[in-house]
Amino acid sequence: MLAIMAGNPHENRFRMRLSDPDFQVFYHAPALVLISAVSEGPWIVEDCAVAAATLMLAAYEAGLGSCWIGFAQAYLNTPEGKRMLDLPAACVPVAPIILGHPKANPPPVPRNLPEIRWVD
């Protein structure tokens, strides 16, 4: 996974995190749902992102916590990552989502008011 970070502006921070023996990229979550496409296509990222958002909203409604682990996406797109999960070579992993029961609910995130511009 470290080779994927080469050239990333945060490479040193990632390298330190990945070398920590206590770090677990999926945070010991009881479930990983990997939303993927079966082959390359013009809208696979958008389609998978909509599926991921829908899954995460449904999980919240069911009282579950979820998190999109974008950090793992590049690795899961490598031959080694695909072998680890027994994925077909043509599979394109897009959204690794962990699910579990949250220990606590985080406080609401402050939001800016939307700026709406009407175009005539």
- Tell me the pLDDT tens digit for each residue of 2-37: 555 555 566 677 778 778 888 888 999 999 999 999
What is the structure's pLDDT at 48? 97
Phi, psi of 104 (to 5 degrees): -155, 160
DSSP 30: S
pLDDT, tens digit, for every residue of 48-101?
999 999 999 999 999 999 999 988 988 899 999 999 999 999 999 999 999 999
Residue 98 near residue 62 (C-beta atoms within 8 A) = no
pLDDT at 93: 95
Domains belonging to the chain, first-starting first, are: 28-100 (3.40.109.10)
Measured distance CA(91)–CA(38) in Å, rounded: 5
Instruction: Look up the pTM and report it.
Output: 0.78
The confidence score (pLDDT) of residue 76 equals 92
